[in-house]
Amino acid sequence: MNLIDKQLRKIEEEKRLGLMTHVVVGYPSLETTEFLVRVMEEAGVDFIELQIPFSDPLADGPIIMRACEKALENGTRVKDAFELASRLSKQVKISLIFMAYYNTVFKYGTKKFCQDAKNVGISGLIIPDIPLEEEQQEYFIKHCKEAGLKNIRVISPVSTLERLKKNAEVASGFVYCTARQGITGVKEELDPNIATFLDKVKKLFKIPVAVGFGISKREHLNQLFNYADIAVIGSAIIDVINKSEQNEIGKNINQFVSKEIKNFLINTKIE
């Protein structure tokens, strides 16, 4: 069984929101990335999104974009992400998911990327800029299936009904919904119409729903209960890293995840 399916079953049995966190491979260093993944597993994270740094991350806001830039300046390459995943898959038991832009996958070779990702312990792929219309040329979904990877589709509040239906036909694992149109980043308030959008998504998709882009505090999580299955926290994690001294990054991430987020999720049950 794919680790994503296994963890989704656990989340459902515990009647709570799942939690996926996000790191940029190589930020602030490869060693720290590896350390932080272990810290977040210990803090109770369900899934960890390993972003392969890219020079033009179209869906990312300033916080993650700067992290990508720094990772690239550090010399981080695609092979480093695969080597990191290989090491981590032997150290942690939770799902590791690659997030990348399709140019990276295309240059690597789509079939080889999927197979190599599976071989190093990756459970699923989030590629936000690969349109369904390219499947007949790129065979991305086909290669995901062949490798046993979950093809996690990304949708937004401006996705048309037709597009939502098409994505629902091919998505696997869970579907990643952006809480708003635009780019990632910490926000004070979520879109007040998010519940309406998620309700529509729930009716169309037969798989769990994850929500990201701007999720950073308990008030946001409160808005997601009974509408989503997984909360995704990305920029807020990078923000904690940015505000921490090097020797306190692990402690601060653990405190943010376990005390501010995870304890709240465990103690607040979905009806």
Q: For 162-191, what is the HEC assignment?
A: HHHHHHHHHCCCCEEEECCCCCCCCCCCCC
Structural domain contains residue 268: no
56 tagged catalytic: no
Query: For residue 267, is it within any domain?
Result: no
Residue 141 has which token pair? 């979904």
Please give the mean pLDDT across all residues of the chain: 88
pLDDT score at 186: 41
* CATH assignment of the domain containing 246: 3.20.20.70
pLDDT given at position 184: 44
**Structural domains counted in the chain:** 1
User: Which of 60, 80, 116, 229 does the annotation list as catalytic?
Assistant: 60
In this structure, is residue 200 part of a structural domain?
A: yes
Peptide bond into 53 cis (omega under 30): no
Q: Which of 41, 49, 229, 239 is catalytic?
A: 49
Q: Which residues of 215-238 are buried (b: 16+ CB within 10 A; e: fewer)?
A: bbbeebbebbbebbbbbbbbbbbb
Whether 199 is catalytic is no
Q: Which two tokens stand for residue 137?
A: 């040329």
Identify whether 271 is part of a domain.
Answer: no
- The per-residue pLDDT for range 199-213, each reduced to its tens digit, is 899 999 999 999 986
Partners of 24 in beta bridges: 51
Write out the E strands in 12-123: 18-24, 47-51, 95-99
Within a domain: residue 49?
A: yes
Classify residue 91: in a domain, yes or no: yes
What was the pLDDT predicted at 187? 46
Question: 220-255 pLDDT, tens per residue?
Answer: 677 777 788 999 998 889 999 999 999 999 999 999
**Helix 194-204 vs helix 161-170: angle between axes, to the nearest 10 degrees?**
50
User: What string of H, E and C letters represents the secondary structure of 188-219?
Assistant: CCCCCCHHHHHHHHHHHCCCCEEEECCCCCHH
The CA–CA distances, whole Å, from 176 to 42, 209, 231 equal 24, 6, 10
Contact call for residues 125 and 150 (beta carbons, < 8 A): yes
> Is 265 a member of any domain?
no
Structural domain of 200: 3-259
- Asked whether residue 270 is assigned to any structural domain, the reply reads no
Neighbouring CB atoms inside 10 A of 136's CB total 8
Q: How many angstroms separate the CA atoms of 13 and 54, rounded?
A: 37
- Bridge pairing between strands 18-24 and 47-51: parallel
Low-confidence ranges of the chain (pLDDT < 70): 57-61, 180-192, 213-214, 216-220, 263-271
CA 67, 248, 237, 78 torsion: positive or negative?
A: positive
**Torsion sign over Cα 86, 58, 171, 19:** positive
Question: Under DSSP, is residue 103 helix (H, G, I), strand (E, B) or coil?
Answer: helix
The per-residue pLDDT for 56 is: 72
pLDDT attached to residue 226: 74
The neighbour count for residue 9, using CB atoms within 10 Å, is: 11
